[in-house]
Amino acid sequence: MIKAMEGIVLKNSDYQEKSKIIQLFTKEHGLIGVYLKGASDYKNKNYLIAQPITHALFNISYHAGGLSSSFTGDLLNSFSSIKSDFNKNVYVFHLFELLLKTLEQHIASEYLYDLLILVLTEINLTDNILKIETLAMLLETKLLYFLGISPQIDHCVECGSIGNIVNFDVNKGGYVCKNCQDFRSRQFSLDTLFLIRTLYYYNVLNINDMILPNETNIKELRLLLNDYYYSHLGIKTNSMKYFS
101 and 41 part of one domain: no
Q: Are residues 144 and 66 part of one domain?
A: no
The residue type at 166: V
In degrees to the nearest 10, what's the CA dihedral of 132, 135, 141, 146? -120
Domain that holds residue 209: 83-242
Q: What is the 3-state secondary structure (H, E, C) of 162-190?
A: CCCEEEEECCCCEEEECCCCCCCCCCCCH
Residue 22, amino acid: I
* pTM recorded for the entire structure: 0.94
Predicted confidence (pLDDT) per residue in 130-161, tens digit: 999 999 999 999 999 999 999 999 999 999 99
Q: What is the mean pLDDT of the chain?
A: 94
Q: Among 45, 78, 111, give the residue marking a domain's end.
A: 78
Q: Which of 52, 78, 104 corresponds to the end of one domain?
A: 78
Q: How far, CA to CA in Å, does 111 sit from each of 30, 80, 114, 142, 231?
A: 11, 24, 5, 10, 26
CB 142 within 8 A of CB 115: yes
pLDDT by residue (tens digit) across 62-102? 888 789 998 889 999 999 999 999 999 999 999 999 999 99
> The domain that contains 10 carries what CATH number?
2.40.50.140
> Is pLDDT above 80 for 244?
no
- Judgement on whether residues 31 and 129 belong to the same structural domain of the protein: no
CB-based burial, 64-77: b 16+ in 10 Å, e otherwise: eeeebbbbbbeeee
Bridge-based pairing of strands 68-77 and 54-61 is antiparallel
CATH assignment of the domain containing 218: 1.20.1440.120
Are residues 207 and 110 located together in one domain of the fold? yes
pLDDT (tens digit per residue) in 5-28: 999 999 999 888 789 999 999 999
Picking from 78, 98, 131, the residue at the C-terminal end of a domain is 78
Q: Which residues contact 6 (CB under 8 A, 6 or more apart)?
A: 26, 27, 28, 55, 56, 57, 58, 76
Q: How confident is the model at residue 242 (pLDDT cuts 50, 70, 90)?
A: confident
Which residues are CB-contacts of 94 (< 8 A; sequence separation ≥ 6)?
A: 136, 237, 239, 240, 243
155 and 44, same structural domain? Answer: no
108 and 51 inside one domain:
no
